[in-house]
Structures are given as C-alpha cells and as structure tokens.
Amino acid sequence: MTNDDSTVSSEGLTEESMVTVLYSIKVIECKEQTADSLFESLLVVKIPEKEETVPMAAFEGCESLVKVMMPEVKEIRKNAFKDCGNLTILEIGDHTTRILANAFANCRSLITVDIKGKVISLQDFAFGFCSSMTEVTIPGSLLTIGADLFFGCTKLVTVKMPGCNLRHISAGCFRQCKALKKFIVPESVTSIDDLAFAGCIALEDIQIPESVTKIGRRVFKGCVALAEINLPKTVKHLGEGLFHGCTALEAFIVSDEVRGSKLQNSKLHEKMRIQHL
C-alpha cells in the first residue's frame, strides 16, 4: 500500500530507487498471508501518525529495510525490527516512551541512534549486536534500562546521557563494546550491575561519581586497557572478580571502608598501588 504524499528522500537513495511505504500496522501483522513479496522489498517505512504501537516482530528479518520513521509511535514492542540488517536511518519521534526487548537487536548497519526526550524505558538487548553503531544519545527522561542493552555494539565510541536520571547501569549494559574508551557514569546512578563493562577492551578511563554505593560482580572483567581507576569512598559493596583479567591495572584508589578482604586476597593485589582516601 503506497501513498504519493509519503515519498521520502534520503542520502544514498534516489526517488526512483526507493520503495516508500506508508504502512498500516494491520497489514504488517498479517504479512505472511497477504504481503510477502512487498514486505521483502521494503526500503523505507513510515508508520502512520495515527499508529501508537509497532507490534511484536512486525518487521523482524526485513533485510531490505533501510529507513524507518515513527513520528507518533509511543511503544516499539519486542523484536519489532530485529534482524533488519540493512537498517541505517532510524527516526524515533518525540512521542515514544518505551522500546521493548530486542526491538532493534542485530540491526548491524545502524550507525547513530538519537533516542528522543520522552523515552522512560529501554528493555533487555534492545540494541544488542548493533555492531556498526558508533554513537548513541540517551535522554534525561530515561528511568530504567534492561540487561545487555548495548551488548556486542563493538564500534560504539560515544554515549551521550544529558540530564540523566538513571539509578542503575544494568547488568551487561555495555558488555563487549570493544571500541568504548571513556565513560562518565551519571551522577544519578547508585549501582553498576554485574558485567556492565565486561569485555570493553579499549576502556581506559571510567569516572564513577560519589552517588554510586554498589559495584557488582566482574563489572570490569577483561578490560585490558584499564590502568587506573578511582573507586569513591561512598562505595560500600564490591562484587567478586571486579578486575578479573584487567592485565594493565596498576593502581586503584580506594578508601579503607571499601578495601575489604576480597581486594586484599586478589591475585592482582601485588601489582596494585593502593592509595587510601
């Protein structure tokens, strides 16, 4: 189903080469019965303004899809755009509040993602294995993030979190983000959960604010470029194996309150230059 008024031009696509579709969500839901050939040839999709939800798995596996526009969608459901391997342009409107699990998982051509100002929840693995993503902007409205949110985003370098109100960095959130060199934990965060930065092999600088009271298990496992880290005096709990495999780690700054037997008995202890606050 096409609409002449819905034609969209975008970099790298000509008007003649584009298949521009103003889609009814009801048609997409029954694509297996009624629209197989059209679905397989989609390049550009604009969700109609009247539609507030993208259904579960609506465009899953649509390898031809290049651009998506969702001006008034409020909720993007589970697996909605999973495995859209050629999706490069993603326009999330100001109305979106929730992006559910795996919604854009394995969209391996996405490069930048700007999540607009009303999103309050990003669920598990929503952008997992978006292996070309280099930059993401997370709005201050965001309150909760699911596990493994950016797991396997191996080219992710820049994470912008202006006015962030998050309380937790979720388990595995940035796991295997192999290009991430620097990360500033927002001052609203109180805990960094298990494996949050595990496998971030380029991570050299992480700044942890005094709002943080808990750091989970193996948070920095395999961060081989991390040479020094400052653990604020407010941290009361450190998980096991915090620095497992951190072969370059020479020093961490820690108060007497958090030093604890786990750190003293660590195999890395002899290499560390521990300073007391």
Amino acid at 230: N
Confidence of residue 45 (pLDDT cuts 50, 70, 90): confident
DSSP letter string, 51-89: --EEPTTTTTT-TT--EEEESS--EE-TTTTTT-TT--E
The answer, yes or no, to whether residue 41 has pLDDT greater than 90, is: no
- Residue 180 is predicted with a pLDDT of 98
The answer, yes or no, to whether residue 169 has pLDDT greater than 90, is: yes
* Angle, alpha carbons 210-213-216 (nearest 5°): 125
- Residue 214 is predicted with a pLDDT of 95
pTM listed for this prediction: 0.83
For the ranges 117-121, 144-148, 249-253, the maximum mean pLDDT occurs at 144-148
The answer, yes or no, to whether residue 153 has pLDDT greater than 90, is: yes
- Residue 185 is predicted with a pLDDT of 96
- Residue 251 is predicted with a pLDDT of 76
Confidence of residue 258 (pLDDT cuts 50, 70, 90): low
User: Do the beta carbons of residue 43 and residue 22 sit within 8 Å?
Assistant: no
pLDDT digits (tens, 9 = 90+) for 71-107: 899 999 999 999 999 999 999 989 999 999 999 999 9
User: Do the beta carbons of residue 164 and residue 140 sit within 8 Å?
Assistant: yes
**Tokens standing for residue 11:** 């970099």
Query: What percent of the chain has pLDDT above 70?
Result: 77
Q: Which domains does the chain have, with CATH numbers?
A: 1-166 (3.80.10.10), 183-277 (3.80.10.10)
- Rounded to whole angstroms, how far apart are CA atoms 76 and 58? 10
Confidence of residue 267 (pLDDT cuts 50, 70, 90): low
Confidence of residue 115 (pLDDT cuts 50, 70, 90): confident
- Residue 37 is predicted with a pLDDT of 52
Helix (H) / strand (E) element for 2: namely: none
- Rounded to whole angstroms, how far apart are CA atoms 236 and 34? 58
The answer, yes or no, to whether residue 23 has pLDDT greater than 80, is: no
Q: How many CB atoms lie within 10 A of CB 17?
A: 8
The answer, yes or no, to whether residue 160 has pLDDT greater than 60, is: yes
- Residue 36 is predicted with a pLDDT of 52
* Angle, alpha carbons 151-106-138 (nearest 5°): 55
Looking at every residue in the chain, the average pLDDT score rounds to 82
Confidence of residue 150 (pLDDT cuts 50, 70, 90): very high
